[in-house]
Amino acid sequence: MDDLAAMLELCCRTRELQASDLGFDLEFRPHPSAGAIHSVHTLVQREIDEDWMYYDAQAHQLVSLPGTSAVANVARNAADELVPATNASLIALVAEPDKAAAKYKSPGSLIWRDAGVLLGYFSICAEALALSFCPLGITGQPMLGRDLDEQGRLCGVGMALLGRTHLG
Ligand SMILES: Cc1cc2nc3c(=O)[nH]c(=O)nc-3n(C[C@H](O)[C@H](O)[C@H](O)COP(=O)(O)O)c2cc1C
């Protein structure tokens, strides 16, 4: 848990807010984001059978999403098929496209680049903290979007594993 907290602090914790007319505040976090909008959220399942936890970057807190352990396990099984790592924390990047769309006409490519930037930051921070981090080829779509919001406002844009010196 300390490893995870250190990673999230280094990569994602909001340093500063700025009021905007988009319907939400702009955020200044360690990693850049198109328009300082931060449309990509970080979710974590620390261990199998636990609920997804949402990283609240402003409060620097992991907030449990009750009743999501089964869908998180489905995502973990999909990850396991690529990289078996039972003891690793599973990370899911989930985009809220409406945020970027509040400012940009064609936000798709910006969201994908935001997600890539975030994975890159996680990678380099894991290296600095002597942790193992492995981005996965799967995005988590359609399962993440479907399972986390039945109104279709969310979209999986990346999955990764975070472990100690070796995954497993
Ligand atoms: C995918 C992506 C696209 C961006 N496009 C621009 C841009 O066109 N013009 C610009 O000035 N900054 C751009 N930025 C930088 C963001 O505006 C910047 O990260 C954000 O305002 C926060 O500022 P900071 O990173 O200096 O703290 C982009 C960042 C990302 C990740």
Q: What is the pLDDT of residues 37-73, one digit of tens each?
A: 999 999 999 999 999 999 999 999 999 999 999 999 9
Full domain range(s) for residue 131: 3-164
Residue 61 and residue 43: Cα distance in Å, rounded?
11
Q: Which atom of ligand 1 is nearest to the CA of 32?
A: 19
pLDDT score for 166: 54
pLDDT score for 168: 46
Compute CA distances 36 → 66, 85, 100, whole Å: 29, 33, 10
Segments in the chain forming alpha helices (H): 2-11, 69-82, 97-101, 108-128, 143-148
| Averaged pLDDT of the chain | 95
What CATH number has the domain bearing residue 116?
3.40.109.10
Q: Is the CB of 96 under 6 A from ligand 1?
A: no
Report, as an integer, the average pLDDT of 124-130.
95
Number of domains the chain is built from: 1
pLDDT score for 36: 98
Q: Which atom of ligand 1 is nearest to the CA of 29?
A: 27
